[in-house]
A and B are shown apart, each in its own frame.
Chain A
Amino acid sequence: MENRGRYIYGVAASGSTVSLGPIGIEGNDVFTIPHRDFCAIAHSCPAEPYQSGDEETVKKWVKTHQDVLDEAKKVLGTVIPMGFDTILQSKDDAVSPDQVVKDWLKEDSERLQAIMEKIKGRDEYGVQIFYAPGTIAKQISEESQEIRKIKEEMAGKSPGTAYLYKQKVERAVKAEIERLANDWFKDFYARVRRHCDDIVVEKTRKADRNKVLLLNLSCLVAMESVANLGEELEKINNTEGFSVHFSGPWPPYSFVAKPVVPVKEEAK
């Protein structure tokens, strides 16, 4: 029986019918389904989602999803990426699954056009800025007068009292980091923002013991601005106590789901 589903990897601004070969999830043949100026990058599958409790299997699928988008970009140019497991199906036997995809491209063409305009010539980059609490705490205790004073008072005290002083120092350091974190955030955010056409602030999460994630950003960056952003991040990365993780280029996953808003000039 013919497969009733079409797994969609993304949409490109090309009206051509292209075969990308057996590079899809589970070795499926990937091809384009065109309608006018757009085409969906797809493989044919049963109308069932890819689901697995096995982490490795899911990772492999996700990597393949990304590999297909990379290949599609080489062949077709800018691609609007779909999330994993976006499968269109034909519910009516009289309508072929390819036609369902074409109808969708037709219906959604205005939105696709707007998104394409926004992301053309741009890629997404992940920027994560961490601080090392140990290094920062050391710096603070050396620089802060308040903490130096507590430390001086601590000298010569009995072990019990010294312990209380030590706790006092720790509290003071923590409060100072908290205060400084706001300044770092504002500073780094502004420095990264100016190289981006758009930016999404992602949730922070726990990193490992030795570093704290201060800023987690997805950045939409024009090709010509990537080197400048890299330079800025290099400076931050070279600042004692901070480190930067800079990933990409990714398809603009973070900039295709939300409504398209014009980029404000002053924000650039």
Chain B
Amino acid sequence: MNPTRDTRATLVDLLDRVLDKGLVLDADLIIHVAGIPLLGVKLRAALAGMETMLKYGIWQDWDEALRAIATKEYRQKKVATAPEREIATLCHKSGDTGITAL
């Protein structure tokens, strides 16, 4: 089968990507919405790019608890990059979501 870029069929794919993903920049560089960095608004993208952000010092001022949650999620993501465990962990997840939706 061929991949599609049909606008109607792929709107969700597009929104998921453009609103939540893409290259993350240093918060000092970009504009702020009412004092909150845009990165704060885009929390999901921020979590994905945490190592980069740590490197650039973005997280330093963030609330401790929030950081703990993010670290946990990041670790889970990191576990997920190990091929064998990845499948096991993710299977568990997909089992949960897939079945409850029945």
Evaluate contact between B29 and A115: CB separation under 8 angstroms. Answer: no
Q: Smallest CB-CB separation from A226: which chain B residue? A: B3
Would A177 and B42 count as touching, CB distance under 8 A?
Answer: no
Report which of B10, B42, B52, B90 forms a contact with A247, defined as CB distance below 8 A: B10
**0/1 interface trace, chain A 170-202, chain B, CB 8 Å (1 if under):** 000010011001100110011000000000011
Cα–Cα, bound, A100→B31 (Å): 12
Pairwise interchain contact A84-B19, C-beta atoms closer than 8 A? yes
What's the least CB distance linking A106 to chain B, in Å? 12
Say how far B14's CB is from chain A's closest CB, in angstroms.
Answer: 6
User: Is A77 on the interface with B (CB-CB < 8 A)?
Assistant: no
Complex contact B38–A230 (CB within 8 A): no
In the bound complex, residues from chain A placing their C-beta under 8 Å from that of B25 are: 82, 86, 88, 104, 108
Q: Are A89 and B97 in contact (CB under 8 A)?
A: no
- B94 CB contact (under 8 Å) in A88, A214, A226, A250: A214
From DSSP, what is the main secondary structure of chain A's interface residues?
mixed
With known contacts A49-B38, A247-B9, A65–B18 Cβ distance under 8 A: yes
The interface size bin for chain B is 35 or more
- Taking A49-B31, A247-B9 as contacts, is the C-beta distance between A133 and B21 under 8 angstroms? no
List which A70-126 residues lie within 8 A (CB) of chain B: 80-89, 100, 104, 108, 111, 115, 124-126
Say which one of A14-22, A161-169, A254-262 lies at the interface with B.
Answer: A254-262
Interface residue? B101 (CB, 8 A)? yes
Contact A202 B16 (CB under 8 A): yes
Which size class do A's interface residues fall under? 35 or more
Q: Are B94 and A185 in contact (CB under 8 A)?
A: yes
Give the shortest distance, in Å, between B17 (CB) and chain A (any CB).
Answer: 4
**Can you name 18 A-B residue pairings with CB atoms under 8 Å?**
A10-B22, A62-B14, A81-B17, A83-B19, A125-B3, A133-B102, A174-B99, A185-B91, A204-B93, A215-B94, A230-B2, A248-B3, A249-B5, A253-B18, A256-B22, A257-B45, A259-B52, A261-B81
Known: A10-B23, A85-B38, A215-B94; 13 extra A-B contacts, CB below 8 A, are A87-B31, A104-B26, A181-B94, A182-B92, A203-B97, A204-B94, A204-B97, A213-B98, A226-B3, A247-B10, A248-B4, A250-B17, A258-B52
